[in-house]
Amino acid sequence: MAEEIRSQKIILFDGVCNLCNGSVIFILKKEVRPTFKFASIQSEAGKELLDYCELSSDYNQAVILIDKGVVFLGSTAALKIGQTLKLPWSFLASTGFIVPKFIRDWVYNRIAKHRYQ
pLDDT in tens, 72-104: 998 999 999 999 999 999 999 999 999 999 999
- In the predicted model, residues of the chain with pLDDT beneath 70 are 1, 116-117
Domains of the chain: 2-113 (3.40.30)
pLDDT of residue 91: 97
Look at residue 28 in the predicted model and tell me its pLDDT.
95
- Cα distance between residue 30 and residue 46, in whole Å: 23
Exposed, middle or buried by CB within 10 Å (0-12, 13-18, 19+), for 46? buried
Ranges of beta strands (E only) in the chain are: 9-13, 36-40, 64-67, 70-73
